[in-house]
Amino acid sequence: MIAPFILSLAISSTAGYSQSELRTLQYAVNSHVYNQALEKFYQHCITLDPEQYMVKKPDPSRLNSLLLQQLQLEADQFVSGIATNPKLMQRAPDDIVLTDCTDHATYQKILDRYELELFALEIATPVKVNSQTTESQRKQQHQQHIKNATVLLQRSKAVAMVSIIDRNSLSTLEQSNFLHPEYKGRYIYRIDQGWRNIPARYMGMQSYLTEQQFAASPKSWLLLLDQHNQFIKVFSESDAKVYLNLLGKPEWHFDLQGNLQRK
């Protein structure tokens, strides 16, 4: 449920806000547009060739933090209530052209513009909001997260905490036993502990990582798997708190020697 002040703005009006608050909302929309363009470009380039194109995955954490700080909104609340507001979108950047994965100059120019919009949002005037309404909104959002997580967990036949490791740390025999012959990625998942069914100790990832992406990515993830051990959902551990709270203590784990231990 979107707070009343956000709902009225999302539908049609920007009345009732000072010019400085409207500028804050505009900076937030502009930042979102740049973030979406960079994310789309990143996905395009890694699909073409993740080893060749060193395009950095945009990190939404700073934008999400500023949305909370300046608008008192979670990212999904902002997207559903503000990001597509016609009055604000009229002034959002519409000349973002990112198609050539080898055009580093254009990519850097767009990245710089994104950073400028984030900085403008950071120093802008916060949008006033009733704290009681915001707290109620956050509780409702948390309840929705629990509901969504419960549905996904009901679909999952195996749930596992994993680490990302270099496949070269495995012996040739281990690689042939655990990895599909057509899997060419350097990095793989190592199953550490989990719930329900027990998947193979090592698994190929759903997408290949470059060395730079591996260095920058979280090393601990939660996998939700179906009956064929296909990915339903993959979360970094920091994004999986609701799921981990619902799951409770792990039911099994692999020890340092790779032996399965049930709890």
Across the chain, mean pLDDT equals 86
pLDDT for 244 equals: 95
pLDDT for 242 equals: 93
Given pLDDT bands bounded at 50, 70 and 90, which one contains residue 191?
very high
Does residue 25 surpass a pLDDT of 80? yes
- Single out the residue of 98, 93, 114, 118 nearest to residue 53, CA to CA: 98
Q: How much is the average pLDDT of 17-22?
A: 85
pLDDT tens string 135-178: 666 788 888 889 999 999 999 999 999 999 999 999 999 999 99
Q: How much is the average pLDDT of 220-237?
A: 93
Q: How much is the average pLDDT of 181-185?
A: 91
**DSSP annotation string for 127-184:** PP--HHHHHHHHHHHHHHHHHHHHHHHHH-SEEEEEEEEEGGGS-HHHHHHHS-TT--
What Rg do the C-alpha atoms of the chain give, in angstroms?
22
CB atoms within 10 A of CB 137: 21
Q: How much is the average pLDDT of 83-94?
A: 87
pLDDT for 193 equals: 97
Q: What's the token pair of residue 227?
A: 């009956």
What are φ and ψ of residue 234, in 5° steps? -130, 125
Q: Distances in Å between the alpha carbon of 46 and those of 144, 157, 169, 170?
A: 32, 30, 24, 25
Does residue 55 surpass a pLDDT of 90? no
Does residue 118 surpass a pLDDT of 60? yes
pLDDT for 15 equals: 57
Q: How much is the average pLDDT of 219-242?
A: 92
pLDDT for 8 equals: 40
